[in-house]
Amino acid sequence: MYIAEKSEGFCRIGISYRKELTNPHGNYHGGTIASIIDTATVQALRTIFPEGPYLTVDVNIRYKKPSNSSELFAEARPRQLKGKFFITEVKVIDKDNNLFAEAVVKSFLPAWK
């Protein structure tokens, strides 16, 4: 897992295909996709509030189709919801921009002022 791109209010996390990240059908395991979604969310939040901590409160993932692409990317864009709560919309795509999953992640930033 690596940071492919990062700017204020955005982060793109990449992951390369490895057999240990797959299900018995050879596609990325749902847990692998969930992990890059969560990681992209936190890294995107770090671009607007570097101090942390970042607590994931809720994750809603909609898996669109299976993937065995050589690389997947999770692109996260957070926005403030209310007070110390943030919502991050995340898309999981391959290098050709094919969509494999979408997520909405709710986070709590206790130190946010």
What CATH number has the domain bearing residue 19? 3.10.129.10
Please tell me the total count of domains within the chain: 1
Task: Quote the pLDDT of residue 11.
Answer: 97
Distance in angstroms (rounded) separating the CA atoms of residues 11 and 4: 8
Question: Taking 90 as the threshold, does the pLDDT of residue 69 lie above it?
Answer: no
Q: If pLDDT is split at 50, 70 and 90, which confidence band does 68 have? A: confident
The yes-or-no verdict on residue 44 having pLDDT over 80 is yes
Distance from C-alpha of 113 to C-alpha of 109, rounded to nearest angstrom: 9
Mean pLDDT of 72-86: 91
The verdict on pTM exceeding 0.85 is yes
Residue 23 has phi, psi (to 5 degrees) of -90, 180
Range of the domain at 26: 2-108
Whether residue 58 is contained in a domain is answered as: yes
For 97, the 3-state DSSP assignment is coil
Domain contains 60: yes
In a domain, 18, yes or no: yes
Asked, for residue 113, whether it belongs to a domain, the answer is no
**Is residue 39 included in any domain, yes or no?**
yes
